[in-house]
């Protein structure tokens, strides 16, 4: 059957993919893998990718705004870049792996310095709340360790301040309602 001119044809198939291209065995294996993933206690039956990290579980459990989760993710990336700039072995980043091949040594040094300064600036926001908060936030967001019960309020406060600092959240008259 060919399409007639000036006729719109709707389909549920994605262009380039063939419907039913998986064998029944592959379909069953994928369903079993998804069932195992969703059965993990921290997932609570949800397929939300955020629940795979302490940050995501923390934000969901406390019903925090998406901006606070995003601030935690951004802080994690800042820590990651700063550690790489300082020469540490960063998971997921092979030593020397980067797109810096076309840059001069001065440009590379400036980028490394900028990464360290971004972390220093973010840590200053956290230090203003509590001296131990930068390390607690690093353990939580970057090392992906569950927060101590003693640190939960600090971390929530830190995420809020980071979200404001990163421009993800603007505080108004009702500042307490943002978290």
Q: Tell me whether residue 143 is in a domain.
A: yes
| Residues 125, 103 share a domain | yes
Q: Is the pLDDT of residue 95 over 80?
A: no
Q: Tell me whether residue 1 is in a domain.
A: no
CA distance 46 to 15: 28
CA distance 143 to 129: 21
90 phi and psi angles, rounded to 5 deg: -105, 120
- Tens digits of per-residue pLDDT, 22-80? 777 877 777 666 655 555 554 445 545 778 899 999 999 999 999 999 999 999 999 99
| Residues 47, 58 share a domain | no
| Residues 119, 138 share a domain | yes
Helix (H, G, I), strand (E, B) or coil at 123: helix
Q: Tell me whether residue 15 is in a domain.
A: no
Is this structure's pTM higher than 0.75? no
| Residues 124, 172 share a domain | yes
Question: In this predicted model, which residue has the larger pLDDT, 110 or 39?
Answer: 110
Domain extent at residue 118: 53-177
- Tens digits of per-residue pLDDT, 120-151? 999 999 999 999 999 999 999 999 999 988 89
Can you name the residues that pair with 93 across neighbouring β-strands? 90
CA distance 151 to 155: 6
| Residues 69, 149 share a domain | yes
């Amino acid at each position: 059957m060919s399409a007639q001119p000036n006729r719109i044809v709707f389909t549920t198939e994605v262009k380039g993919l063939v419907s039913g291209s998986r064998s029944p065995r592959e379909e069953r294996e994928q369903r079993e893998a998804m069932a195992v993933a969703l059965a993990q206690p921290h997932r609570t039956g949800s397929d939300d990718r955020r629940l795979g990290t302490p940050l995501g579980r923390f934000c969901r459990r406390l019903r925090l705004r998406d901006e606070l989760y995003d601030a935690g993710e951004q802080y994690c990336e800042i820590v990651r870049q700063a550690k790489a700039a300082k020469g540490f072995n960063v998971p997921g980043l092979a030593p020397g792996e980067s797109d810096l091949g076309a840059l001069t040594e001065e440009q590379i040094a400036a980028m490394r310095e900028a990464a360290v300064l971004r972390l220093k600036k973010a840590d200053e926001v956290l230090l203003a709340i509590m001296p131990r908060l930068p390390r607690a936030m690093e353990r939580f967001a970057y090392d992906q360790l569950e927060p101590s019960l003693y640190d939960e309020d600090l971390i929530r406060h830190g995420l809020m301040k980071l979200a404001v600092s990163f421009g993800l959240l603007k505080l108004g008259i009702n500042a307490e309602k943002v978290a």
